[in-house]
Structure 1
Amino acid sequence: MTGTLLDHHDVVLLDLDGTVYRGGQLAPGADEAIAEVRARGVLVRYVTNNASKPAQAVSEHLNSLGLSATPDEVSTSSQAGAALLAEQLPAGAKVLVVGSAALADEVAQVGLTPVRENADEPVAVVQGHSPDTGWWNLAEACLAIRDGALWVACNADATLPTERGELPGNGSMVAALRAATKQEPQVAGKPERPLLARAVSSAQASRPLMVGDRLDTDIGGAVRSGMPSLMVLTGVGTAADVLFAPVEERPDHVADDLRGLNLPPSATVVGEQAGWKVRVGEGVLELSADTAPQPDSGEARVAALGALRALCAAWWPLGSGPVEVRAQDAASSDALRELALG
């Protein structure tokens, strides 16, 4: 492939927390990378599993961080959940909402009737994250689901990243209802297909690229949707996570941050890497360097990421899960130290 990674796609689907920003700050290089995406005429879609905020609030937050974003560029799991319900229910059908007012609004916008109690005889339940969800809300949903109501979860993320650390997410509340009802919900958010499919459709695109920091949701969603992906290391996922990833969560490209979008595909793709050799032994990967980066030259990190892509290319065809990595020289030892591997 020639040109940059961007040149081969007509829309970039960007995860938010850990990819575009971290808490109240932009991720390194996010502003310049997204500006370049727009300059090249490639469309942007911000895709989030967070169902507690409307698209307008998400775009306003992005604007407050210095990015240009409009509500129609935001795809949320609450939108995807509401759309999934609308595909299966008649207009005006009652849906018991376990979640925020924003989720209830999405249900109303697709022509369905949001309710909060099982006494209203809902034919479906939709569940999204809200910090105000309590036992009473789960109890009402439990009764409806046991009565045969269709159950849609906006996402099944067990945890929610916050500035205080990982806290219980919608998936933890879903697990409570799963245990109480012995039923399984339809899931709209990543890694399932509805959210990403909706984002691609809204852009009328045919060559999407998914970019994220989590293997289980962002990259897993791309794999299930049959689209290529770029893994960035600005959030939850680590180099070790990438190397040990199961087949269904393996990215096509790996970069430090969103600036990888503006590199040639050969500089980010998982495959054999110039300057690195990997020998596969019995339960071990032996990494050796052909050339060593100059100290303090700024090349050490670039070289280390090349080593990671080479290790993945050697290990993935053979297995998944943890494998021992050994350095065979000083340069490879430096790379593994940089990656927190070995």
Structure 2
Amino acid sequence: MTTVAGKRLVDGYALVVFDLDGVIYLIDRPIPGAVEAVARLHAEGRAVAYATNNASRRSSEVTALLTGMGVPARPEEVLTSAAATAELLRDRLPDDAAVLVVGAEALRAEIRAVGLRPVSTADEEPAAVVQGYGPEVGWVDLAEATVAVRAGAPWYATNTDRTLPSGRGPLPGNGSLVAVLRTALDREPDVVVGKPEPALFATAARRAGSGRTLVVGDRLDTDIEGARRAGLDSLLVLTGVSDVPELLAAPERRRPTHVSFDLAGLFEPAAVARVPGEPELGGWSVDLTAAGLVLSGAGRPLDALAALCAVAWSASVGPVVRAASPAAEEALWALGLPA
């Protein structure tokens, strides 16, 4: 079995840290079941925090968005990459130092809030360049940042998410905009603050004291890798960016502790699986062939996934899976895998 009968996943942790986009909401609409899950945690008196790489909203704005959806969040529970980057710059630069900001107004506001001065051009001789996601970022912004970095200003990126989720599928994220500067400058940013760097999760985990922390995310390359780098357990929910094929092909640094279809996995033992499992698990059997993985038997789709992870990860094979039984075909369909 992948879970202990009757034991809820959440009961093993003092703090649950949620990513937002793809876990709690999608852009500005709650993901089905998310509001109820967070409300249940609050009703049980459990500690909750939110860690987001989205640098286009301030903590207060995120709190307002959450409360507008029915989630009773407080600003001190919300950790954003914009605020973390501003605090880092505050510690490294003199008061009122000029900082060239490429991103949304929320990032400029965070820079002002720590006593620094946001500017828009390289001619203002910025002491640093900070780059975060903003839907209005254009060529002129990127050009000014390029000039400033070439003149010697250190380059800070709030995060490097290649994409961000939307109702129309993944769209270019800050990592894609960072890639423009990376190409123009032929170098990496000097500092990346957001996930998968461990700072956001480490800050949240300190609030749990001696208790254990669980990170819940939808992205292997940010949420899950960041949790592992912070030494924390993680739950991958399949409501956002990362899917089952990506999970089966994940390198070790991006492998979660648990996986579930959605946040029901926090409370229902049957709705979550610990990964990897065993090649023979819960009525399933997985064999490795020259053509890929073969799934046979019958049982829970999540048990099939745990068994598939066991073989795929140990053999470092890709997500090519063939069904050897009608039940296996149904399980692979439920997991989003072609049979």
Q: TM-score, normalised by structure 1?
A: 0.88
Q: CA RMSD in A?
A: 2.3
CA contact 1:211–1:218 (8 Å) conserved in 2: yes
Matched residue, 1:192 = 197
Aligned length: 330
The percent identity for this pair of structures is: 49
- Structure 2 residue 321 is matched with structure 1 residue 316: no
CA contact 1:84–1:194 (8 Å) conserved in 2: no
Matched residue, 1:12 = 16
Q: Deviations over 1:38-83 (max 9, x none)?
A: 2333211112111111111111111121211121111111012112
CA contact 1:283–1:323 (8 Å) conserved in 2: no
- Structure 2 residue 68 is matched with structure 1 residue 64: yes
- The SS at the match of 1:288 is strand
* Residue 223 (structure 1) aligned to one of 228, 240, 258: 228
Q: Deviations over 1:226-276 (max 9, x none)?
A: 211101111222222212222221111010101111134994211133222
Q: Deviations over 1:92-129 (max 9, x none)?
A: 33221112221122122233332222222221111111
The correspondence of residues 205-284 of structure 1 with structure 2, limited to 5 A, is 206-264=211-269, 267-270=272-275, 271-272=277-278, 273-284=281-292
- The SS at the match of 1:97 is strand
CA contact 1:91–1:111 (8 Å) conserved in 2: yes
- Name the aligned partner's letter for residue 71 of structure 1: P
CA contact 2:54–2:133 (8 Å) conserved in 1: yes
CA contact 1:80–1:198 (8 Å) conserved in 2: no
CA contact 1:49–1:154 (8 Å) conserved in 2: yes
Q: TM-score, normalised by structure 2?
A: 0.89
* Residue 329 (structure 2) aligned to one of 326, 329, 333: 333
Q: Give the Cα–Cα distance (whole angstroms) in 2 for the partners of residues 266 and 340 of structure 1.
A: 16
Gap change, CA 1:135 and 1:281, over 3 Å in 2: closer
Matched residue, 2:37 = 33
Q: Give the Cα–Cα distance (whole angstroms) in 2 for the partners of residues 80 and 31 of structure 1.
A: 26
- Name the aligned partner's letter for residue 150 of structure 1: P
Deviation at 1:151, TM superposition (A): 0.9
The correspondence of residues 15-164 of structure 1 with structure 2, limited to 5 A, is 15-164=19-168
Structure 2 residue ranges without an equivalent (≥5): none
Gap change, CA 1:155 and 1:306, over 3 Å in 2: same
Gap change, CA 1:73 and 1:199, over 3 Å in 2: same
The correspondence of residues 285-324 of structure 1 with structure 2, limited to 5 A, is 285-289=293-297, 292=298, 303-320=300-317, 322-324=318-320
Q: Give the Cα–Cα distance (whole angstroms) in 2 for the partners of residues 107 and 204 of structure 1.
A: 29
Deviates more, 1:164-173 or 1:183-192: 164-173
* Residue 170 (structure 1) aligned to one of 164, 167, 174: 174
Deviation at 1:306, TM superposition (A): 1.4
Q: Give the Cα–Cα distance (whole angstroms) in 1 for the partners of residues 138 and 290 of structure 2.
A: 51
- Name the aligned partner's letter for residue 234 of structure 1: T
Q: Give the Cα–Cα distance (whole angstroms) in 1 for the partners of residues 321 and 259 of structure 2.
A: 19
Deviates more, 1:272-281 or 1:152-161: 272-281
CA contact 2:35–2:69 (8 Å) conserved in 1: no
Structure 1 residue ranges without an equivalent (≥5): 294-302
Q: Give the Cα–Cα distance (whole angstroms) in 1 for the partners of residues 210 and 19 of structure 2.
A: 17
